[in-house]
């Protein structure tokens, strides 16, 4: 088990490796389900799923983020009793809320299905997935605790275990229930998620029992809850804005397709073509853009308690060091990802989706999406500083700008205008989070690393463009031209990073180090 003092970058690495493994496992599971259930079964799964994230968002109340911050601060001050109180109060609140809402959902399942489900065959899948809410809520609380103690290996192990169990359960349940019809098979796929989450929760509970905080004499649940009003207030101060952020995001995601198709209609695009263009944007472009984001998400997960601990100790130097490390890693990852998504936009959408026309949308969004690799760490820094309200208002403001931009540009320039509108929202949110941090603790950075990485990006783009054209002229199939040119340009990128001193080998263990 990792000690609370494990390094921030080591925690990020552990979570990133686990996230990468989970992406692969999730891809395998999704591919199997898609092939066995077909488009009809996948449609039933998608219909049954949307209610659950909303229930989970409400039951969690944003507490996992608040827990990781407050536990890190209490642990840094040596307040072991407060660490346990935070956990007990959080578990009590989420357990009551999740069980209550899940019970209401189950009792009113037929009424909910009659309103939300356009195909009533998805009813069984909806019933199968509903019990997952309390399991996920309790797991999230325990993960918040382990994040606060900076024990990232426990979280990584539970996530990998969950995805591994899910694949096994999907294979078994879908195969077992498919003879009874696609509706029951879809329900089996949903039930597999519940079982895997339950196994993951069991692992987290055992880990806490073995390695968690030991109780003091006379310490009980009742004593923690009786004296936990101030603790609950601290949790909700961060948790409620985070919950509001999640709810607004869910509602906006629900209405965004209508906004986009309406703006396209005003641009004179027919219904069928508008649906196709929206599918290219949401189904082809976004997955490619978000593919490298598992690293920045892992970075953000480790960053919240790291900033919270530094803030609790009033260590401004450590705070800025963590910020520099986070933004530096975001830069080193985001730079080559942006070059690849821009330079190989059309070949990628052709190879992956057989949709070369989606390449233009990817090329438009990739440069603006570069800021997304900084936005996730900036968002985490604000949460670590306890400025959850700032993140909420920044998101709302950026969402308003994005909505207006999508409508204005989309109605004038079609789907390309929509892409620019979405990009404007990303730029606005990143800048707002940056200014919020600057106003809180100042923001001191050197332009030299960014100039060096910019030069490396340029060299990578030139090399990639030349090598792809050369390999294509030599008659290689497109897939090998793409793989060869990307591999060659990445080697040049990392070689340029080492030559400019951005990345160095650390002897004698031969490890990479980032001199930030």
Confidence of residue 507 (pLDDT cuts 50, 70, 90): very low
Q: Which of 336, 341, 319, 327 is nearest to 296 (CA)?
A: 327
Model confidence band, residue 6 (pLDDT cutoffs 50, 70, 90): very low
CA gap 72, 371 in Å, rounded? 28
- 363 vs 174, residue with greater confidence: 363
Mean pLDDT score, 335-356:
89
**Is the separation of the CB atoms in 425 and 405 below 8 Å?**
yes
Q: Which residues of 255-278 are buried (b: 16+ CB within 10 A; e: fewer)?
A: ebeebbbbbbeebebeeeebeebb
Inform me whether the pLDDT recorded for 513 exceeds 60.
no
Q: Mean pLDDT for the chain?
A: 81
pLDDT tens digits, one per residue of 273-298? 777 777 778 777 887 888 777 777 77
The ranges assigned to domains in the chain are 8-227, 243-445
Torsions phi, psi of 316, nearest 5? -65, -35
Q: How confident is the model at residue 511 (pLDDT cuts 50, 70, 90)?
A: very low
pLDDT digits (tens, 9 = 90+) for 442-487: 766 677 888 888 899 999 999 999 999 999 998 889 999 999 999 9
What pLDDT, in 10s, does the model give residues 359-403?
A: 899 999 999 999 888 888 888 888 888 788 888 899 999 999 999
Global confidence as pTM: 0.72
| Mean pLDDT of the region 242-255 | 76
**pLDDT the model gives residue 421:** 92
**Higher pLDDT pick, 70 / 445:** 70
Q: What value does the mean pLDDT take over residues 256-279?
A: 80
Neighbours of 201 (CB within 10 A): 21
Q: Which candidate, 472, 171, 174, 215, places its Cα nearest to that of 344?
A: 472
DSSP-derived secondary structure for 409-428: HHHHHTHHHHHHHHHHHHHH
pLDDT tens sequence across 95-145:
888 888 888 877 877 777 776 655 567 777 777 888 888 888 889 889 888
pLDDT of residue 3 exceeding 50: no
What number of residues does the chain have?
Answer: 516
- Is the CB of residue 101 less than 8 Å from the CB of residue 55? yes
């Amino acid at each position: 088990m990792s000690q609370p003092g494990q390094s921030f970058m080591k925690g990020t690495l552990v979570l990133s490796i686990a996230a990468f493994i989970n992406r692969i496992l999730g891809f395998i599971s999704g591919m199997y389900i898609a092939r066995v259930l077909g488009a009809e079964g996948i449609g039933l799964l998608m219909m049954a799923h949307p209610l659950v994230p909303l229930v989970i968002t409400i039951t969690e109340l944003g507490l996992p983020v608040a827990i990781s911050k407050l536990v890190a601060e209490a642990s840094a001050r040596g307040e072991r009793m407060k660490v346990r109180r935070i956990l007990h109060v959080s578990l009590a609140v989420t357990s009551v809320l999740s069980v209550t809402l899940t019970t209401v959902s189950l009792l009113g399942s037929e009424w909910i299905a009659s309103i939300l489900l356009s195909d009533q065959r998805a009813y069984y899948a909806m019933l199968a997935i509903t019990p997952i809410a309390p399991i996920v809520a309790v797991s999230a609380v325990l993960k918040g605790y382990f994040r606060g103690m900076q024990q990232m290996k426990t979280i990584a192990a539970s996530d990998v275990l969950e995805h591994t169990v899910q694949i096994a359960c999907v294979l078994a349940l879908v195969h077992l229930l498919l003879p009874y019809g696609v509706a029951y098979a879809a329900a089996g796929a949903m039930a597999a998620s519940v079982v895997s989450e339950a196994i993951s929760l069991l692992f987290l509970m055992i880990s806490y029992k073995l390695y968690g905080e030991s109780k003091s004499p006379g310490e009980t649940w009742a004593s923690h809850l009786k004296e936990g009003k101030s603790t609950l207030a601290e949790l909700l101060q961060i948790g409620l804005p985070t919950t509001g952020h999640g709810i607004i995001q869910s509602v906006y995601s629900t209405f965004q397709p209508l906004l986009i198709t309406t703006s396209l209609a005003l641009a004179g695009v027919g219904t069928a073509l508008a649906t196709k263009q929206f599918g290219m944007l949401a189904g082809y472009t976004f997955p490619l853009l978000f593919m490298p984001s598992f690293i920045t998400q892992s970075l953000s997960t480790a960053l919240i308690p790291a900033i919270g601990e530094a803030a609790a100790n009033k260590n401004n130097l450590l705070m800025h060091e963590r910020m520099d490390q986070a933004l530096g890693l975001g830069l080193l990852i985001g730079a080559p990802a942006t070059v690849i998504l821009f330079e190989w936009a059309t070949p990628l959408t052709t190879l992956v989706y057989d949709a070369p026309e989606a390449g233009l949308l990817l090329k438009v969004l990739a440069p603006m999406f570069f800021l997304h690799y900084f936005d996730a760490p900036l968002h985490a820094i604000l949460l670590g500083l306890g400025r959850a309200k700032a993140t909420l208002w920044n998101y709302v403001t950026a969402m308003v700008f994005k909505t207006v931009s999508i409508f204005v540009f989309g109605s004038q320039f079609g789907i390309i205008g929509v892409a620019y509108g979405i990009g404007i929202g990303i730029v606005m949110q990143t800048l707002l989070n940056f200014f919020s941090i600057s106003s809180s603790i100042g923001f001191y950075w050197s332009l030299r690393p960014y100039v060096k990485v910019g030069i490396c990006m340029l060299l990578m783009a030139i090399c990639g463009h030349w090598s792809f054209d050369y390999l294509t002229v030599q008659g290689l199939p497109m897939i090998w031209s793409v793989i060869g040119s990307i591999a060659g340009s990445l080697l040049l990128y990392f070689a340029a990073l080492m030559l400019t001193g951005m990345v160095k080998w650390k002897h004698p263990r031969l490890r990479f180090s980032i001199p930030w």
